[in-house]
Structure 1
Amino acid sequence: MAKYLLLKHYRGGPTPVIDMPPFDRWTPEEFSAHMQYMKDFAARLEESGEFVDSEALAPEGTFVRYDGEGRPPVTDGPFAETKDLIAGWMLIDVDSYERALELAAELSAAPGQGGRPIHEWLEVRPFMTAPPTITE
């Protein structure tokens, strides 16, 4: 078994990758159907032993990095001009990379407005199992 992090990306900007209006333009029924799809998907993976955890993320955030002098610069974000927003994540534990891709594709079909699949982008990231080796 190998663990993978599925990052749910919503992309906007002048050429959005998915045609999905912000959640505040969805009807309560559309939002409920979307959330129910996510819950049902997670429940099915829990039954198969492939689900580890998941969370939705608020659109607000803060960027922090060490400045070399002990005062971390803090910047509000994501910014309005950002074209990418990580809206949530799911941690899975599956037999293969191919299975992780299969599940990510299925999760990408979550319903949006009008019940149509939103075709959101999911980033599939494996957990590092050993530190990288450096060969000279």
Structure 2
Amino acid sequence: MRFMMIAKATTDSENGVLPSSELFDAMARYNEELARAGVLVAAEGLHPSAGAIRISYPEPGGKPKVTDGPFTEAKELIAGFTLIEVKSREEAIEWAMRMPDPHGFGQGQIELHQVFEALELTSDPEALAKENEMRERVTRKPRA
């Protein structure tokens, strides 16, 4: 089971305030612990929404709309994510509870979302084979 731990944005993260060296070190130790346990898939921090782009679909079947950041509600935005692969929801919660406060000032908030697996979305054998083939290519292919 894969889960995404989403570190919610704060006014500081949206203003480009970088983590302290202590917080950076704590997060590095946490990510190393995830890696040693064999559950870490990815972990990344995100730039503030001032440099982000939102694509919305205001009408069914209509043309997408592009909106440049910044976006106003910091509490609705994300500042980073960690993707883990674990055996259960309980294990995902245990790992999330061990994450250091993502912003270090008692403002941190983490959302934990389970990632859909292809079998949950379709039972079509052809679609599943294509999905598996694509995932194998992605994990094998070195980036240019």
> Could you tell me the TM-score, scaled by structure 1's length?
0.70
More strand by share: 1
Per the alignment, residue 42 of structure 1 pairs with: 31
1:103 alignment partner AA = W
The CA distance in 2 between the partners of 1:112 and 1:54, in whole Å, is 17
- 1:36 Cα offset (Å): 1.1
1:1-136 equivalences in 2 (<5 Å): 2-11=1-10, 22=12, 31-60=20-49, 61-66=52-57, 68-69=61-62, 71-110=63-102, 112-113=104-105, 118=106, 120-129=108-117, 130-131=120-121
More helix by share: 2
CA contact (8 A) 2:27 2:100 kept: no
Identity of aligned residues (%): 28
Name the SS for the 2:68 alignment partner.
Answer: strand
2:110 alignment partner AA = L
Query: Which structure is higher in RCO with an 8 Å CA cutoff and minimum separation 6?
Result: 1
Name the SS for the 1:83 alignment partner.
Answer: helix
- Which runs of 5 or more structure 2 residues have no equivalent in the other structure? 124-144
> Could you tell me the TM-score, scaled by structure 2's length?
0.66
How well do the aligned residues superpose, as a CA RMSD in angstroms?
2.8
The CA distance in 2 between the partners of 1:91 and 1:126, in whole Å, is 10
Aligned residue pairs total 116
Q: C-alpha offsets along residues 82-104 of structure 1, whole Å, 9 cap, x if unaligned?
A: 43320000011112101111111
The CA distance in 1 between the partners of 2:112 and 2:79, in whole Å, is 14
